[in-house]
Homo-oligomer: A and B are copies of this chain.
Amino acid sequence: MEIKRPLSKQPIPPDAKKVFHGVIFDVYQWQQKLFDGSYQMFEKLKRPDTVLILAVTEDRKIISSYQEQPGKESFRGLVGGRVDEGETPLEAAKRELREESGYESDDWTLFDAIQPVSKIDWTVYTFVAKKCKKTGDQELEAGEKIKLELVTFEEFTDLIFTREFGDAEIKTKFLEAKLDPAKMAELKKLIIG
């Protein structure tokens, strides 16, 4: 599977200076030439890419998660997490699926790859992992409490539009499918088909 990282609509230019290095975010600044020939300091962030997994069990249930994180409202979503240094997005997706759910899959497809925020150089990759098998226990970090809920495709298409569902990056494709029965059938086939 060849995975291309989508380009930002406002790329950080090569001569930008990294002016801050944080735990998650790095800040870049550069002198941008404006339309009248003057210059202005522009600023953009960079953060590690993340992965989301539409994980489907052998009996065609989608693995949804109910998550608690310290200092944050609890939320529903998919399993997923950050791409670590030196990892490919697919390697990160396989690791996060294993750690957060205890499931593994040999059947991976890229579902979507987007840059959701124009002022952050940050790609969210969403994968479909079919025929997931439980091969072990969850291995959660001290900042994670994750309960899994196995739901049907139809239950999932409702769940993602509830207020407590956090992974906004996948909502657009499902809403578009809701407007068009042919697209919804295609989506269903792609995910649990």
Q: How far is the CA of A143 from the CA of B22 in the complex (A)?
A: 29
Q: How many copies make up the complex?
A: 2
| Cβ-defined contact, A23 with B42, below 8 A | yes
Selected interface stretch from A70-78, A131-139, A147-155, A185-193: A70-78
Q: Name the residue on B nearest A47 (C-beta).
A: B119
| Cβ-defined contact, A22 with B27, below 8 A | yes
| Cβ-defined contact, B179 with A35, below 8 A | no
Residues in B whose Cβ lies below 8 Å from that of A72: 9-10, 118
Residues in B whose Cβ lies below 8 Å from that of A13: 71
| Cβ-defined contact, B179 with A175, below 8 A | yes
Residues in B whose Cβ lies below 8 Å from that of A1: none
Q: How far is the CA of A10 from the CA of B68 in the complex (A)?
A: 11
CB distance from A51 to the nearest CB of B (A): 16
Residues in B whose Cβ lies below 8 Å from that of A141: 34
The contact of A118 among B33, B38, B41, B166, by CB within 8 Å, is B166
Q: In this assembly, does A106 line the interface, its C-beta being within 8 Å of a C-beta of chain B?
A: no
| Cβ-defined contact, A71 with B27, below 8 A | no
| Cβ-defined contact, A25 with B45, below 8 A | yes
Q: Name the residue on B nearest A175 (C-beta).
A: B175
20 example contacts (A-B, Cβ-Cβ < 8 A) are as follows A9-B73, A9-B75, A9-B166, A19-B20, A22-B29, A23-B42, A24-B119, A25-B25, A25-B27, A25-B45, A25-B119, A34-B70, A34-B142, A35-B68, A35-B143, A36-B142, A42-B70, A47-B119, A171-B172, A172-B175
